[in-house]
Chain A
Amino acid sequence: MRKLRLWAQFYQREIKNRYLGSLSGLLWVFLHPVLLLALYTFLVAGVLKARIPELSDAQWLPYVAFGLWPWMCFSEGLQRGTAAVMEHAGLLGKIAMPAELLVAASVAATFTLHSLGLIAIVLLLPLFGFPVLWQNALMLLPLLLLLFLFTLGVAWIAAGLQVYIRDVAQVLGQSLSFLFFLTPILYTPTMLPEVVRPWLAANPISIYCTTTRDWLMFSNTAMNGKHALAILIALLTFGFGLMVFRKLERHFEDFL
């Protein structure tokens, strides 16, 4: 109970601080992905003139958007969560508190805002004539929750390591920009050479992008083994991350 209240406090503070504290912060959190979306669409469709056989021209923008937002949730949540322990160094070691809440609050705040952004985009795109099944928007919530659990698990591990090895955040930033291109956001899996395609399944993020599209663009809402695997991976990552974090936490105050 106390943990929940504490988490709520940190969460509120995080949202207030980072996003509502300034007008630009609030604008930025919605504007940034929209600008990215515009840029990517322009680059791939306008400059590189890439044509995707199974997509119509009008489907290209929603296709990128529904890959981009889950990705933003994951990558930004992970980076913010990793930094959370170091940001609150002043609090830890002075007062008894469960440090894992700091990471959880940080990741949750990022997810909240990007989820709102995603839902806004889902509702806005049909207004501009894009073919989007906005009726399925609410189905995204459990999907995002699952992605949240997965992200939090990874963030706990990274945040714990970060206290001992200060390069973690940097390495993480660079790895994420690689991973971005290894995730089917700007391309469809069918555009890849036959040999590489099975490897895409090894990327735990790609399922979230493809599922979002399946639900919102192709009305393909059937569940399959891949979804079950994603649930398993998310839960295991969450549990394992918490376990690793709790172990590393024992000497946090000596290294902060």
Chain B
Amino acid sequence: MNELLLASDLAKVYPKVSKSGDRVKVMMRLLLGRALPDSLAHTVLSDVSLSVRAGESLGVIGENGAGKSTLLKLLTGVIHPSRGSVVLNGQVGALLELGAGFHPEYTGRENLELAGTLYGFSGPELKSKLNEIIAFADIGHYLDEPVKHYSSGMIVRLGFALLAARRPELLITDEVLAVGDESFQKKCVRWIEDYTKGGGTLLLVSHSMYHVQKLCRQAMWLHKGRVAASGDVFDVTQAYLAHHEKKSAAEALTTGRANSHDSYRVTQVLFNGDAAESGFFLDQQAELALEIALHSPDGRAPVVLVGIVRADGTPVYGVTTDVDKIEPARILDHEFHISLHYPELPLLPGVYALRVHALDPEGVRLFDTVTRDFTVRGESREFGLVRIAHQWRVPNL
């Protein structure tokens, strides 16, 4: 229906050129309309499809080199896709690279003319908006100096001011905003929020999950040139952050465990009644009930330790049966059961792991660990790991 942007099966292959002869080979292939051979091709993006409807806002996230900028350049027509197609049904304003469309030898004012045309302004239109642009950029007397004397922040100011005056139907912007200073960034973020509220459509690349969550409703995670996840902004950003937390945890994790065959063991953990090993979702402040079954080789009641850690291994909360002075109940000779309830789990949205440990009855040695990964869903914009009960008070004047 109202698809402003529709891209299907986009792929970008860069030619790998090491010898000077390769340049000629690539050129001949292009002239003959043939695809590049594998030995000369370097795929940076493949099988990316996306659609953006009027009024939507999509954030593209991913590591360095994941293909985010390439994707934006393909979408805006700066570079040509090797496969797939892009359909644009509206007028697009893009701020992709620092100083795009500006000539370093010309003054800011002169540059506004050419860049203005590149951004789609007509002559009289640009004239009528010139004051607005200059006011937004707020770079003072630098406006009449050559752009080569500008700081990177000033270049972004000028570029963004032009874009803001254009008010395109679809705004596409890369990480460039990060260059501006705090106050200008805030100004831009305010403007973008205003713009999306007013029905504008946004496509944004950022490493700042804060900006993405604040400005976008949808997100797409690019990983090594492919779409790793896409959908609701909170689900995708959380999955992305969890991926990174796990990655750093995997590097740090070197734990030794005593684990002989017949020792104290956790035989079963039911997560809200579910015996699966992963894929749990909880809503924020929801109830969590754990049913834990244990094996004891000598028939004595083991101590149980239940801990919650963030995906990167940061401990959030842990408690043992002997701290709380309680013992699992004996069901059979060697089998013990106990359950644990969190009536309103105060975790903030994110990916966590639940670790259930079996210790000896003295609570000294750790024998077994069972882990359950789970995701807390929600749209909270609070910071940290848990929600701490609080009250704001405004003094009565």
Binding site for B on A (CB under 8 A): 2, 5-6, 9-10, 13, 90-91, 93-97, 161, 164-165, 244, 247-251, 253-255
Contact = CB atoms under 8 A, between A and B. Distances in A.
B30 A247 contact: yes
A95 B118 contact: yes
B7 interface: no
Interface string B8-35: 0000001101000001101100110100
A3 to B, nearest CB: 10
Interface stretch (B93-101, B280-288, B354-362): B93-101
Interface residues of B, number: 31
Contacts of B101: 91, 94-95
Contacts of A247: 30-31, 33
B231 interface: no
B385 interface: no
B94 A248 contact: no
A82 to B, nearest CB: 15
A240 to B, nearest CB: 12
Nearest to A250: B80
Which of A6, A9, A254: most chain B Cβ within 10 A? Answer: A254
10 contacts: A5-B123, A6-B118, A10-B114, A91-B100, A94-B97, A94-B100, A96-B78, A165-B24, A247-B31, A255-B15
A253 B117 CA distance: 21
A229 B101 CA distance: 41
Contacts of B193: none
Nearest to A91: B101
A6 B116 CA distance: 10
Contacts of A6: 117-118
B329 interface: no
A97 B78 CA distance: 7
Contacts of A250: 30, 80
A2 B14 contact: no
If over half of A's interface residues share one DSSP class (helix, strand or loop), that class is named, otherwise mixed; here it is: helix
Contacts of B33: 247
Given A9-B114, A94-B100, A95-B100, A165 B27 contact: yes
B307 interface: no
Contacts of B57: none
Contacts, number: 68
Interface in B88-107: 94, 96-97, 99-101, 103-104
Contacts of A253: 78-79
A253 B100 CA distance: 14
Interface in B57-87: 73, 76-80
B120 interface: yes
A253 B15 CA distance: 11
A9 B104 CA distance: 16
B122 interface: yes
B138 interface: no
Nearest to A88: B103
Interface string B119-152: 0101100000000000000000000000000000
A40 B326 CA distance: 111
Nearest to B104: A90
B111 to A, nearest CB: 11
B394 to A, nearest CB: 49
B332 to A, nearest CB: 70
A9 B30 contact: no
B120 to A, nearest CB: 6
Given A93-B79, A96-B76, A9 B117 contact: yes
A94 B94 CA distance: 10
Given A9-B117, A249-B80, A253-B79, A164 B26 contact: yes
Which of B14, B17, B79: most chain A Cβ within 10 A? Answer: B79
A161 B28 CA distance: 10
B113 interface: yes
Contacts of A254: 14-15, 17
A94 B26 contact: no
